[in-house]
Structure 1
Amino acid sequence: MAGRLVRMSVRPAVFYAHAMDALTGLLDGPRARGAFLMRSVLTPPWSLRIQDEAPLTVVTMARGEGWVVTDAVGEPRGRRAAATPLHPGDVAILRGPDPYTVADDPATPPRVVIHPGQVSATPQGVELCEVMALGVRTWGDGPDGPVVLLSGTYQMRGEVNQRLLRALPPLVRLPADAWNSSLVPLLEAEIGREAPGQEVVLDRLLDLLLTAALRAWFARPEAEVPGGYDAQSDPVVGRALRQLHADPARAWTVAGLAAASGVSRAALGRRFTALVGEPPMTYLTNLRLTLAADLLREPDATLGAVARRVGYGSPFALSAAFKRVRGVSPRDHRRRGAAPHADVGA
């Protein structure tokens, strides 16, 4: 048992050791596991209709130009297409499950449709996976096409922090000149390699690219800052957040947290909810369950040990809270997380 506890303490220490800022709390969560990564080589005219229902996809133009076409919601006369240009080095982050199109021109009709499971077919349903294969994680209509598109897809909702998904618009575009990063050429260099442990390398590169791109995007003036993002700088709520993240397993109450933050219980409740978007104890529950979800992926972790680590008095209490909030039992979460194409409810 001692060996198990030592092993479990490594990753949670990352959470507990830092007084996490709001951005860290929001971005800490992408954990790709066997993510679908692809290098697409294309010749105009080209158009890919993506309807794979994936929770999150990162797309970047390594070479050439393109457009992302999404459907605007809430138009009085239905849905209207919205087109966003993609230049070399630009990064687009698309939140599922709504479909979208990536094309050389917004007017080009879809020529390939990507279905759930990353099955590609013509609009008429003829499968193209084998026909358009060009090598290791490379696909397209010819090896010498002038357009190279890199894409990485998180295939399970459990791989991405649900608070992050709720904070994002359907499409985030980060222009190449908005950040200075070598991650895109590094991903392009690695995506076509076949080496021991390559899937793990690509998963971590995708996580790093997503996190770095979102950090740069949230700093831009046009970014819509998610609820709670600025709460860390508040002298009261910021102190409360640091207390919760530093010791989430503590038997916190609103009164105890208010005392540690130097205000009354009522004042903390009002201010915390206004800035973060949810009451302190709801935030704490979600924080604990996010930590528990990550810990449960450790093969040697027991439910009882995880419960103690995140502040639940028994495995039953953790299991009940996990299923109530995330819609799946800890056991099912662990089993589905081990399957590359499984889906985890949230």
Structure 2
Amino acid sequence: MRPVRRWWAALTGAADRFEPRGRPLAVGRSLLALASGCLLAFSPDGALFPRTEGVTDGPVCTGIGRISLWCLAESAGVDLQVCRMIALAVFATVALGYRPRWTCVPHWYVTYSLSVAVALPDAGEQVIRILTLLLIPICLGDDRRWHWQRPGRPLSAAWRGRAYAAYLFVRILGVSIYAQASLSKLAVPAWRDGTAGYYWLVHPHYGSTMAIQPPVGAILQQPIGVSVVTWGALATELALAVLLLCPGRARRAGWALAIGMHGAIALLMGFTTFAMTMVGLWAIACATTARRERPVDFTSRTASPVARTDV
């Protein structure tokens, strides 16, 4: 139990030195905005909203979803294309990194609106909705003009604690996603016997023609190749869940592994926005923390206010 206690003490003690405003956070925010923006920009209304007998019905406006941008616009008689333009403008502003403090709440709202009002079955939008909500406590204390800039002064103690709590929840969210994705598959016989990878890759809806072409097609023609693909996916998902709990260097290795896995899935199965979402989650999970015991000199041009730690 002593290693566990040391790990917990290091994890909670890092809140006093937490400094998330580095490049990983900027990359994560931009990727989340680009994922939602691409989905909205390249999807016509007929794909976004429910259809009955070939006629687009409009946004889903039930329950709390009535406060979404699309539903408010529809009730006010505003053209839905106006909502599209507003949302794309917000996503573009966030992706560019302008004023994190003032764009974090609009980013969450348009992401929430998109996720509850549209009918596209994209799990990435549900994840982004949670991530953008968790980013609010991290970004509200950020007074930089661009999120790519180095911070000019440290976060206040109150905002540092709030940001660190949100950052831990981001990691917990990632652990739950990967652990559930891996362990739940074990209840399916096709995943246990090592054949599910083949059926998913050649699925008429989720699969891709690339999966039957060399070199992937040659691998899928061999039983051992199919088993490696299937069980390898399970092992990778479980490894990513564990790496999110690990210290900084291991998490950065997990980020690279996540880029490889989600990039391959996007290439072979077309889940591009989900891949961008999960890589963005990893970027936020790799937000840097200051490991120096002495205060960081935020006025120095040579000092690095985002030095990493192993927590």
Structure 2-normalised TM-score? 0.32
TM-score, structure 1 as length reference = 0.30
Query: With CA pairs under 8 Å and 6+ residues apart, which has the higher RCO, 1 or 2?
Result: 2
More strand by share: 1
Bigger helix fraction: 2
